[in-house]
Structure 1
Amino acid sequence: MNTNSGDQLKAAAETGDIDLLYTVIHDDPSILEIIDSIPFVETPLHIAASWGHIHFAIEVMNLKPSFLWKLNPQGFSPAHLAMQNDQKRMLSRFVDMNKDLVRIKGREGLTPLHFACQIGEVELLAEFLIACPDSVEDMTVRGETALHIAVKNEQYEALDLLVCFLRKNIVRGAGRTQYKILNWKDTDDNTILHILAQRNFEPQVVKALGLLLKTRINLMAKNLQNKTALDMAGNVDIRSIIELRSKSNSQISNAPTLAHKLRSNTTIRHKVRICILRIRSNILEEQRNTWLIAATLVATATYQSGLSPPGGIYQVSASDDHNMNITSSNSTISTPKNAGFSVLSGPGFFMFSILNMTSFFLSTIAIIIMIPSGTMDGVVVVPVLSFTLSYLFSMIMISPTFVNSMILLFVLYSLGVVLWIDVFLGMYYGLKPVIAKKLNILSLKQYCCNRRNTSHGL
């Protein structure tokens, strides 16, 4: 590449002259290849992005798509330069052509999404999040998320948008991503709440605090100085708001280390879960599918045989003259007292029910074990358990003797009690922090009202 061709190419990019671009290519056909071979270089696309020449930029991108990912000697891509020079339409075209450009990292690990948070471009930020939801997980070299950058630059509208996006995001794993990003720590182990707690008492700060306190943010997180957000609060009013929802550093025990967790006592529930997870991990996918089909067929067959035991059940039909003509499914005459019960004798039905229930319970347990681990476990487990309870209820209804009914009823109640205890415990531990959070939010609102009345001399 000669100097004259390079100067002409630069002039074409600065003016957006596509004709001059092709004149340079005609004179020096390898000029774009030579530029592309340089690791860090200012390409014609960098220049066009800075000047806002959209048509020229698209022409260059069609000729050399790799220029989109090139960093100049200052560590910026064309998308970064478009952000810095307020070329929003140019940036939108970049994202339309390749959504992954939202995540391209430049100097200090900053992405275009980070830049949008830094300067408070809310509309552009929303466009980036919709185009590439995973971009919210990108970090800078300082371990900062987009939320850290928004708080540090006091861009509270951008923070509000990011938090609302995390709460409304529905892609796979969105719940785990929300918790991770809200509680992410930078290289100083500061969460966004640590940084926000150090701000002055202003309406925007109070609003941002209220928004964060409604989320799953960890109020007990400590930074490298072993301080919580409450300890970092410099303003008395900010400290009072956080104090309604938090505990002081002296009241918070240190989080258990990984070594402590590994050495902790294993409960019976954990042992059962470990056993199930080990079985799942040792099963190949083809084996899982085959065994799951077999277990489902066995459960269905045993359920059906439970509804129609050997010999059938006694049935009753009413004639037109209202005289009772009582027959069984095998034409055995019965009395109204036996209608709906199994034809089998008491001992015979007891043996049948034991064998049938054993097969049914083993197959349903196998179904639960074969279900792959994931967030959808409960969607399958709950119907299976309900199916089991309905099976037991059916067996109770057709049992021919009182003793058999009582035994089956005891099994049904025992299983039901265990399930309800597990459900209530799960609801208790799940709703306990939510209820506490709601109560504290009400206290926070009351505190803000009192502050507002005090400031107005009421």
Structure 2
Amino acid sequence: MNHLSNLSDKLKLGGEEDNINLLYEAIEDNPSILDIIDSKQFVETPLHIAASRGQIQFANEIMNLKPSFASKLNPKGFSPIHLAMQENQNRMVLSFVDMNKDLVRVKGKGGLTPLHFASHNGDYVDLLAKFLLECPESIEDLTVKGETALHIAVKNNNYQALDLLVCILRKIIKKGARKFDYKILNRKDEADNTVLHILAQRNFEPQVAHTLGLLLETRINLNAKNLEDKTALDMAFNEDIKGKLLTAGAKPGLRVRAAHTLAHKLISNITIIDKLVIFTCSLRMNISEEQHNTWLIVATLVATSVYQSALSPPGGVYQANASSDNNVNITSSNSTISNPGNAGKSVMSNFYFFMFSVANILSFLVSIIAIFILTPSGVLGGLVSGPVVLFSMNYLVSMRYISPGSNTNIVDITILSIGFVVFIYLAIRFYHVIRRWAMMLRSKL
């Protein structure tokens, strides 16, 4: 025991004096000394000592030997990077982040991460920017009180840090970024207060006005309620802040209609739209990525081939040729006719064109539905859906135009049916967007 104590003292002295030789002398005496220290759940490692004193060389050396020391908490609940920040050892902190960016997310006492600590103190804005640049996901981390870095910044009147955090949220480019920034901006703390609730209670100073303006330009929920059923407008006591909130569309808590509870939503009857959404989602989930790509290609080829057959139906169409004296002669592939009204119409008989149009339109309809289902959701899917809808309209117009006169009613009914299906699809596609808009409109009533 005394031997281990002597080795620990040697390691401690090495951390204090930045002496790497003492580190290896201890390892020579007991090659398992670092493992023995690491086996303890809460312990002050040599890395803690080196970090608090800014001994970068010793810290880098021991991190190479024992990376797990970097996330180890001492008995007071702090990791080495936490201690470095507390002692204003900024170069030490940057060295930690350069070696392992995930150290920004190490949780210490109270769930505080280095990002939270940097948001608390206005002197650490440059470090905060470095943390966000290296590890933008760290902005999701919460303290044990449910606070984000934004909550901590506004509660400590660190408006420069809050501005930086809001701007970073608006610039983050990742999958599902719109849901991501909405989730972080509207996160509630233990009292169900959002950042806007807290900021609304401040005096109307230039910094507060600027930060409030930034928040109101984001997708923050103006009418979120806290545990006291108060919105940000209810919490504001300054008339200038109230005016800005009212201009942005904020409402008092009493005028915000209570949203249905989760239990109510689950108990409520499933609508036709819900069933279609569930059906579409289940189809997407039950095929692999390879099958998804294959079927999308097949559906696209079928739709293209069917469209081409509408442009060039079997047997062709009646052609119109203008003569030099402006008289019109109408010719088919086999004969000349005298009725200009048949120009561009299919030469097939009514019965055969009916059979052709039914099979053709059904094939086109199935392939278009398949394309819609297989197309990814989100903004990209919306961009793709527009040309597909226009493509479908062009096809329907072509079928309507080449249809012989006696078949126009059948074709018109089919076109209306396809139009209805396309409309249902678009309603499903933008179901969540429409619902969000409806909730926003109800909150303003």
- The TM-score range, normalised by the shorter chain, is 0.7 to 0.9
The change in CA–CA distance for 1:432 and 1:203 in structure 2 (over 3 A counts) is: farther
Query: What's 1:340 paired with?
Result: 344
Q: Higher mean Cα deviation, 67-76 or 310-319?
A: 310-319
1:212 CA displacement: 1.3
1:326 CA displacement: 7.2
- CA distance in structure 2 between the partners assigned to 1:431 and 1:39 by the alignment: 50
The change in CA–CA distance for 1:53 and 1:128 in structure 2 (over 3 A counts) is: same
- CA distance in structure 2 between the partners assigned to 1:251 and 1:387 by the alignment: 46
Residue correspondence of structure 1 range 23-62 to structure 2 within 5 A: 23-62=25-64
- CA distance in structure 1 between the partners assigned to 2:175 and 2:436 by the alignment: 22
1:92 CA displacement: 1.8
Query: What's 1:183 paired with?
Result: 186
Instruction: Tell me the matched-pair count.
Output: 435
Residue number among 302, 305, 309 corresponding to 1:301 in the alignment: 305
Residue correspondence of structure 1 range 42-441 to structure 2 within 5 A: 42-120=44-122, 121-244=124-247, 245-264=249-268, 266-282=270-286, 288=292, 291-315=295-319, 328=332, 330=333, 332-333=335-336, 337=340, 338-371=342-375, 376-401=380-405, 403-405=406-408, 408=411, 412=415
Query: What's 1:442 paired with?
Result: none
Contact map agreement 1:316 1:336 (CA 8 A) in 2: no
- CA distance in structure 2 between the partners assigned to 1:49 and 1:318 by the alignment: 91
SS of 2:64's equivalent? helix
1:369 CA displacement: 2.9
Determine what percentage of the aligned residue pairs are the same residue: 59
Contact map agreement 2:44 2:73 (CA 8 A) in 1: yes
**1:349 partner amino acid:** F
1:285 CA displacement: 5.7
TM-score, structure 2 normalization: 0.85
Q: Higher mean Cα deviation, 41-50 or 407-416?
A: 407-416
Contact map agreement 2:139 2:148 (CA 8 A) in 1: yes
1:377 CA displacement: 3.4
The change in CA–CA distance for 1:100 and 1:428 in structure 2 (over 3 A counts) is: closer
1:419 CA displacement: 6.3
The change in CA–CA distance for 1:112 and 1:288 in structure 2 (over 3 A counts) is: same
In the alignment, structure 2 segments of 5+ residues that lack a partner are: none
- CA distance in structure 1 between the partners assigned to 2:93 and 2:338 by the alignment: 85
**1:362 partner amino acid:** V
- CA distance in structure 2 between the partners assigned to 1:419 and 1:372 by the alignment: 17
- CA distance in structure 2 between the partners assigned to 1:377 and 1:98 by the alignment: 36
**1:214 partner amino acid:** E
SS of 1:222's equivalent? coil
Contact map agreement 1:298 1:360 (CA 8 A) in 2: yes
In the alignment, structure 1 segments of 5+ residues that lack a partner are: 438-458
- CA distance in structure 2 between the partners assigned to 1:318 and 1:270 by the alignment: 56
Cα offsets for 1:25-55 (capped at 9, x unmatched)? 3334332222222221111111111111212
1:242 CA displacement: 2.5
TM-score, structure 1 normalization: 0.83
Cα offsets for 1:49-108 (capped at 9, x unmatched)? 111121221111111111111111111111111221222222222112212111111111
